[in-house]
Amino acid sequence: MKSDTKVLKLVRKSETATEAEAASAEAKAATADFEGAASATESLPAPKVPLPKVTNTPVVTKLVPQPKASAPSRRAPAKREQRDFQGLSREQMIAIYRTMYLSRRIDDKEIQLKGQNKIFFQISGAGHEAVLVAAGMLLRPGYDWFYPYYRDRALCLQLGMTPLEQLLSAVGAEKDPNSHGRQMPSHWGHKKLNIVSQSSPTGTQLLQAVGCAEAGYRVKLIKELKNRFENFHADEVVYVSLGDGTTSEGETWEALNTACNLRLPVLFLLEDNGYAISVPVEIQTAGGDFSRLVKNFPNLKVERCDGTDVFASYASLRRAVEHCRAHRGPALVHAKVIRPYSHSLSDDEKLYRPDEERTADSERDPIKRFGALLIEEGLTDQGKLQEIKDEIDREVTAAADEALASPQPAAETATLYVYSTDIDPTSSKFDKEDKVQLSGNPGTMVDLINRCLHTEMARDPRIIIFGEDIADCSREAHLGKVKGKGGVFKVTANLQRKFGSARVFNSPLAEANIVGRAIGMATRGLKPVVEIQFFDYIWPAMHQIRNELALLRWRSANDWKAPVVMRVPVGGYLKGGAVYHSQSGVSTFTQIPGLRVVYPSNALDANGLLRTAIRCDDPVLFLEHKHLYRQAYNKSQYPPDDFMIPFGKARIVREGSDISIITYGALVQRSLVAAKQAEQQGISVEIIDLRSLAPYDWNAIVASVKKTNRVIVAHEDSLSFGYGAEIAARISSELFEHLDAPVRRVAALDTFVAYAPQLEDAILPQASDVAKAIAELNRY
């Protein structure tokens, strides 16, 4: 690397050079649009909010415009370009350099440690330092909210994260505040600073950031929530960053759509280094320029800047932050940066980037350029700059030594925080079944779910309900003229009328949008109860469910949580449902640690289990079988408003002594029909309705199998790899000595549900299939 003195010589080649003075012709061409943009050079008054004082950490002092320090010049002053320091003082600029250099040296230290096999992964923020320090100066740690991505090392330092805290992450130490040794390095998270735990999938943070901002928006609208939360501020901003590769993902567009539609104070920082690992931006993005594609989004302020230039970055970000704080909508800052190192230490950029391109990037290195500028302007000299470097080198070395000596998490802590340690939905606290007093006319499952939602929303103003078509009427002016939708199955009918559009509202037709926003809201303390219209369409949200919702608590070691309830109509036996309205793939979700999965078979259970789901502290997938919504046989009178059923507690539907049937959902009634037929043949069948699939009631299964010594597991999923396979395997493994016959399974065929009624009947398990299994098992 060239020294700052050598770069200074390059800077002085032209008296009228702009931001890219030291760059090659190729680099100039690459950033021409950004350098020439008015937003990159316009001068605005300093923000009114003071920043903390300069200390030995990289946090800068308050913004006080000061005159440029005087210094001897080798050229006549009249010929010098008058620089705009954006109101930054000399002390602030020195502090900026310090933070930028600190960030780079931590990268370098981690690379060194990886080469020594003392850490296990490294991904750097090199080349992004200037724009990230600028962002950290203009935003407020512990006040604003942050959803960074893995290049944001310099931002986190500027916000107050220490070198030791970052290096604790690199070595996987238990004291690491980012994830306590559970995630890769550079997966940022810090409870005190409002840096929400980051994951590896790129782009999933965007919808959560929108949901985080939306929580503030909703709290302002809901009068019952005024003064209930401490960490909500009228002018808070939610920062979220992304790389140029992430702009190709659908969730980026979904996030922009909702942020603009609701005019949310979300600051999107696009750190465009030209590559998504090895794929250049022109391959990723139509026209190679994302900000030009989105410039016509309503309420979106678009800023473009050279992200390797501190002053250009600071000016653009200041305008963007002011736009957000003034409630004028979201802002996108498109910063052109460089990537002087490979994507990560698992990548070798020499395989796809020519030497001349890499050299051009190095000439735009933000640290070298800014150091040269400080000397050029007489704000420091080479000796003092070297003193800063030496001090930082010692600081980083000491932090690395301390981190390496810090213990890793104990092996026995691996299963901690998969679920909440504060609220146990399997406990007796949630068991209100004994001697429950029912009243009123019998209602269907739809009726009792609707009643539960009404009573819970009245009890807890934090509950927010949204999804596709769930409102009565989005255009409130029409509410008095129409009956209202209330969901395609009418489960959420009249909720909007009673509780208002701030708490009950329609979402875009985008499942990831629904779940991602709900995660962001839940992180802020709201209680989203969202609806996915059909189980068959839940898959676009799978990234958010599997990698974010279920994992958030565990990957942050309980620093963050998102207790979202997802209501999902599921299942077949509806004539005409066919392939895309009749799926039942519950085993896909029951094998996800951290996610509770519930599946009631009747109206009363639906009411009690949903109330438990809402009051528990974990994410819950609440499955509602469409065929069971309005069946007369599963109706119930209404329970009290505090009626709950604990998770992991099965229900004995029918006592028996010869054969046990372990089942749930629509197969409960079909098993009951088959059991009554078997009784005429002298076979006594016991039926266990699991009700809760994750967790499930193993004790009830054990007791039943020990009593009957024969067992059938029946479910609507496909036979192969279905939910019943786990139950059958565990029975065979742990209860083998109590079995008088092999465990038998009854399930759907290993195919899809067809439209033609005759085909559907053949594919899905019927009462006759259960009856046949009972007869065969009894003869064994």
Catalytic residues: 581
Distance from chain centroid for Cα 753: 32
Place of tokens 């939708």: 485
Distance from chain centroid for Cα 658: 49
Distances, alpha carbon 755 to alpha carbons 343, 630, 761, 762, in Å: 49, 21, 10, 11
Yes or no: say if 425 and 616 are a contact pair by the CB < 8 Å rule. yes
Closest alpha carbon to 149 in 250, 283, 59, 272: 272
Yes or no: say if 88 and 314 are a contact pair by the CB < 8 Å rule. yes
Return the axis-axis angle of helices 382-405 and 90-115, rounded to nearest 10°.
40
Coil, strand or helix at 423? coil
Yes or no: say if 131 and 307 are a contact pair by the CB < 8 Å rule. yes
Cis peptide before 695 (omega within 30 of 0): yes
- Supply 717's token pair: 């999923």
d(C-alpha 598, C-alpha 358), whole Å: 54
- Supply 493's token pair: 């009918």
- Supply 296's token pair: 């016509």
Buried-exposed string 99-125: b where 16+ CB fall within 10 A, e elsewhere: bbbbbbbbbbbbbebbeeeebebbbbb
Is the sign of the CA dihedral 524, 645, 637, 437 positive or negative? negative
Q: Which residues pair with 685 in a beta bridge?
A: 659
Closest alpha carbon to 209 in 262, 156, 145: 145
Question: What is the DSSP pairing of strand 463-467 with strand 504-506?
Answer: parallel
Place of tokens 């928006």: 217
- Residues sharing a CB contact under 8 Å with residue 76, sequence separation 6 or more, in sequence order: none
